[in-house]
């Protein structure tokens, strides 16, 4: 019976020792669980904060991208309007230049026609004048020949009139040449202006 009591005492002591060990393990487990829960709470709060920061940064980035896109669209629209206005201005200026060129070309053509008509009229008048002067010279020469029997004074007077007529004819011929040269110079100037207008 004493031996049985000793065995029971040893078994009870072993159970108590095991119970104390289990209690210690349970306390350690509780402490570890509490520390883990605290760490998880801190970690969750940190992750929540980082997630909120990332969400806020993403929202700010999206807003900045939207503003940049709006600014780019506005700038593009403004640039497009500037290009349209510039194109319209260039079209208007081109039309004005073309209109001035056509007007100037028509004006030069009209002046050229006018000069040509005046030159033709002048040449016709010069031909008539030379014919009239030649006829008058022939008439004077005929009168001189018929008046050879007249007195010396009459012959001198006739010869003087003939000389005056020849001088007048020479003066008229010189005037004709000078006017013809002036018309030639004017024609050359008109040709030069027309070439300059064509180049412009």
Q: What is the domain count for the chain?
A: 1
Q: What is the pLDDT of residue 145?
A: 72
Q: Residue 119: which domain range?
A: 2-199
pLDDT averaged per 10 residues in sequence order, the chain, 200 residues: 68 80 85 85 83 85 83 81 82 81 81 80 77 77 68 69 76 76 76 71
Helix (H, G, I), strand (E, B) or coil at 153: helix
- Read off the pTM: 0.35
CA dihedral 89, 92, 96, 97 (to 10 degrees): 60
Burial class (CB in 10 A: 0-12, 13-18, 19+), 179: middle
Q: What is the pLDDT of residue 200?
A: 56
């Amino acid at each position: 019976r004493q031996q049985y009591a000793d065995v029971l005492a040893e078994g009870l002591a072993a159970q108590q020792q095991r119970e104390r060990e289990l209690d210690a393990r349970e306390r350690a487990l509780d402490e570890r669980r509490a520390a883990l829960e605290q760490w998880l709470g801190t970690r969750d709060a940190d992750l929540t904060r980082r997630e909120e920061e990332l969400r806020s940064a993403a929202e700010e980035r999206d807003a900045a991208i939207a503003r940049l896109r709006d600014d780019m669209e506005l700038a593009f629209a403004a640039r497009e309007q500037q290009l349209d206005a510039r194109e319209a201005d260039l079209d208007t200026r081109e039309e004005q230049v073309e209109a001035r060129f056509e007007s100037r070309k028509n004006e030069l053509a009209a002046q050229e026609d006018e000069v040509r008509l005046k030159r033709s009229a002048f040449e016709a008048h010069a031909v008539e004048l030379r014919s009239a002067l030649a006829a008058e010279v022939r008439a004077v020469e005929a009168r001189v020949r018929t008046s050879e029997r007249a007195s010396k004074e009459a012959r001198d007077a006739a010869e003087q009139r003939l000389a005056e007529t020849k001088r007048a004819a020479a003066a008229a011929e010189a005037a004709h040449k000078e006017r013809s040269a002036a018309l030639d110079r004017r024609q050359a100037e008109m040709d030069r202006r027309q070439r300059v207008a064509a180049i412009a």
